[in-house]
A and B are shown apart, each in its own frame.
Chain A
Amino acid sequence: MFEIFGIPSQALFGQLLLGLINGSFYALLSLGLAVIFGMLNIINFTHGAQYMMGAFCAYLLLQYLGINYWAALVIVPIAVGVFGILIERLFLQHVRKLDHLYGLILTFGLALIIEGLFRNYYGSSGQPYQVPEALRGGRNLGFMFLPNYRAWVIAFSLTICLATWFAIERTRLGSYLRAATENPTLVRAFGINVPRMVTLTYGFGVGLAALAGVMAAPIYNVSPQMGSDLIIVVFAVVVIGGMGSIMGAIVTGFVLGIVEGLTKVFFPEASNTVIFVIMVIVLLVRPAGMFGRTA
């Protein structure tokens, strides 16, 4: 054990790790928000609720069907993603042509419904979810103890984020997507089914949120309000990063997670607010956000 700035290394790196974990979730969620915003031009207020649904689905699958974490990691994002597609078909497509404020209000209402339903059946208290067997325990790195599950979450979410970036920025399908974001009418004229692309994009963004939820289940308690608290922070992350760039959303997510973790070490009182303070500073210095294009 040694000390850095008078802080034991165990505490410092422990918080740094926690920060990276939070950062993984910020990155996954703000990535989903950015993808959805790009295609649908709405800010998905239901995102937090869908993240919560992801965690709950994993919990329910294990509890009632005995389906383990690894299967849930595949099943849940698809199931919740399909649910997202239904939402898009049933509700969101009707507000596309309206003022953006209606999309915001509509998704907020949907978030209330989902959260309220889960609270009815599961109360406000959290349900525990066991860490999968293969990832229990951890290793001592000399300067800190690294639980295996947390290392997995960071590595896996980073992989997913980079894969998403690659798919959108470097593949043919991604180029269609980007083109449809810029000018949907023109892309339609080329014979590409843009409305279906919009629907699938929403499903994909929602799936990302659900995936984050599954990964979060063993770390935090699975509770109905786990999403609504997180989503506000993610909004601040999105404002800081700007929604114009995929890589921007990923980098901002991870960096802000780390900053938050470090704040917990050096100035614990401010750890809840530090991201909002950074948001204010960024708005004053660079109103378009760190990676944003000016509107």
Chain B
Amino acid sequence: MMERVVDPLVLQRRRETNVSFVVGFAIMVALFAVLPFIAYPVFLMQALCFALFACAFNLLIGYVGLVSFGHALYFGWASYLTAFAVKSWHFHPELAILIGTATAAVLGVVAGGVAIRRQGIYFAMITLALAQMMYFFALRTPFTGGEDGIQAVPRGRLFGYFDLSNEMTMYVFVLVVVLAAFLLIYRIINSPFGEVLKAIRENEQRTISLGYNTDRYKLVVFVLSATLAGLAGSLKALVFQLASLTDVHWTMSGDVLLMTLLGGLGTVFGPVAGAFAVIAMQNYLAPFGQWVLVIQGVIFVVCVLVFRRGIIGELAAFLRVQL
């Protein structure tokens, strides 16, 4: 790649972006340090896993403009593999997470390779269809436990030392992994690679004419997104000690879309805020049964019609910073 010409104005804007990111990140970390003393740790860990899931999803929809409707595939299958590795093979948690994440990466290569052959609306339909195919596979194949899923997964000892059955230890572990992945995503979208991704989002034809092999960029970012979604799924399997069909069902793909949209497409912090909002809503509204579905639908409609920037997007516009 050529030496990049750095415009002083661009440099200044980048510095401002950096400042707002550092401030935002500091606030987020502070919140996560205090929250476990106020809220129920399992709820927080659940929200953290989904925050990572949504961030991974946002990498695709927010920065490349690719709408995947089948991200449950990577989340759910990583969750299955991690649960199975821990329970049946008695692997250490870190190795089991690695296996789950690697599975998601492989699935991402295959599904991404097929899906990027079509653009736009077709891309969404293809990812949805592929995820549904693997849902049926999960339903049929014996190792996933069918309707029961894989239950009572032991959390084990991290590196053979930290006892993860302690909620606080588990919380710190999940937090560290999620924050590391979050920083990785921030690094990706602000790298030269990330600039090309945004160029594809704005105008793919033009990016091709500039000499970029956009299909290759799309495939790489698809695999990255799938892998990180898998990491989220693997963590979730250990947090809940459960992997089930819910995780691979299309409603899960809808949930992660809702989180990202509500938080703010293409914002760094949006998916985290969206995940917390949606998980909290699902927990508090659980007694109302099917109304959750209706309310989620209403949020989708409202977001699309009047609230397209999402929570963090609106906040950023109000503060005139990039978040």
User: Which A residues form the contact surface with B (CB < 8 A)?
Assistant: 37, 42-43, 91, 94-95, 98-102, 104-106, 108-117, 119-120, 228, 232-233, 235-236, 238-239, 269, 272-273, 276-277, 279-280, 283-284, 287, 295
Contacts and interface: CB of A to CB of B under 8 A. Distances in A.
B212 interface: no
Contact of A120 (B117, B289, B301): B289
A76 to B, nearest CB: 23
**Secondary structure type dominating chain B contacts:** helix
Interface stretch (B2-10, B38-46, B127-135, B232-240): B127-135
Contacts of B67: 101, 104
A280 B125 CA distance: 12
Interface stretch (B22-30, B92-100, B291-299): B291-299
A119 B118 contact: no
Contacts of B192: none
27 contacts: A42-B121, A43-B121, A98-B308, A100-B121, A101-B61, A102-B304, A104-B121, A105-B261, A105-B300, A109-B298, A109-B301, A109-B303, A110-B300, A111-B297, A112-B296, A116-B294, A235-B125, A238-B125, A239-B125, A239-B126, A272-B136, A273-B136, A276-B130, A279-B126, A283-B114, A283-B126, A284-B117
Contacts of A43: 121, 124-125
Contact of A273 (B118, B133, B257, B308): B133
A116 B61 contact: no
Contact of B65 (A98, A101, A106, A232): A101
Given A43-B124, A94-B305, A269-B140, A110 B129 contact: no
Given A37-B121, A101-B67, A295-B119, A113 B298 contact: yes
B254 interface: yes
Given A236-B125, A283-B126, A119 B300 contact: no
Contact of A276 (B61, B117, B132, B308): B132
B137 interface: yes
A130 B121 CA distance: 38
B294 A283 contact: no
A277 B133 contact: yes
Contact of A280 (B130, B250, B299): B130
Contact of B293 (A116, A277, A295): A116
Interface in B109-149: 114, 117-122, 124-126, 128-130, 132-133, 136-137, 139-140
A160 B122 CA distance: 26
A95 B302 CA distance: 12
B112 to A, nearest CB: 12
Contacts of A233: 129, 132
B132 A287 contact: no
A117 B300 contact: no
B290 interface: yes
Contacts of B133: 273, 276-277
Contact of B297 (A113, A235, A280): A113
A284 B117 CA distance: 8
A102 B136 contact: no
Contacts of B118: 239, 283, 287
A276 B128 CA distance: 10
Contacts of B119: 295
Among all A-B residue pairs, the 9 with the closest Cβ atoms: A109-B300, A116-B293, A112-B297, A113-B297, A276-B133, A116-B294, A236-B129, A235-B125, A119-B290
Nearest to B308: A102
Contacts of A280: 114, 130
A120 B304 contact: no
Nearest to B125: A235
Nearest to A232: B132
Interface string B259-297: 001000000000000000000000000000111111011
Contacts of A42: 121
A42 B125 CA distance: 12
Given A91-B301, A116-B297, A269-B140, A283 B117 contact: yes
Contacts of B130: 276, 280
A233 B135 CA distance: 13
A170 B225 CA distance: 47
B293 A115 contact: yes
A235 B122 CA distance: 9
Contact of B299 (A109, A114, A272, A276): A109
Nearest to A122: B290
B305 A276 contact: no
Contacts of B121: 37, 42-43, 100, 104
A123 B160 CA distance: 47
Nearest to B133: A276
A95 B136 CA distance: 34
